[in-house]
Amino acid sequence: MIGKLFRDPTDNIMIQFFRYVFVGGTAFVVDFFFLYFFSDICGIYYLVSAVFSFIISVLVNYVMSTRWVFNQDNIENKVVEFNLFMLISTIGLVFTEILLYFFTDICGIHYLISKIISAVIVLFWNFLARRVMFYGRDFL
């Protein structure tokens, strides 16, 4: 069972989602740390910090997702692969920025709590978009 969850290549959507949540959790910790660092330590406006932290975390997510979650080490054109990954991630960033603004500036929630709420919502977009559009897998 551990091999299926963590080691064996798979097309099973539940195992891929489990792995994606694990990878996404790792990328989220990186994103969250740098959002805090850029905003509170460096004094950068939180919406700008969110872009910087996104760039760092998406690189972590890219490497882990392509090699482990969706088993895509055999893609021939890595430039196209990365650009598609960035396109999907950038759409996710737009969603994140809108949600961060809404929850923080409109609803008055602290920006770090807003980040957690936004990340949960955007997680589903990123997973399904990458599975369907980028990796050519069915929705379910």
pLDDT at 114: 96
Residues for the chain: how many in total? 140
Sign of the CA dihedral running 126, 122, 139, 17: positive
pLDDT at 138: 54
Determine phi and psi for 92, rounding to 5 degrees: -60, -40
Longest CA–CA separation in the chain, Å = 47
> Is residue 18 a contact partner of residue 7, using CB atoms and an 8 Å limit?
no
Report the predicted TM-score, pTM, of the whole model to 2 decimal places. 0.76
Percentages helix, strand, coil for the chain, rounded to the nearest 5? 80, 0, 20
CA distance 66 to 130: 10
Tens of pLDDT along the chain (140 residues) come to: 666 666 677 777 787 778 877 888 899 999 999 999 999 999 999 999 999 998 999 888 888 877 766 655 555 667 877 888 888 889 989 999 999 999 999 999 999 999 999 998 888 887 788 777 655 655 45
For residue 73, what is the DSSP state? T
What is the model's pLDDT at position 48? 96
**pLDDT recorded at residue 93:** 92
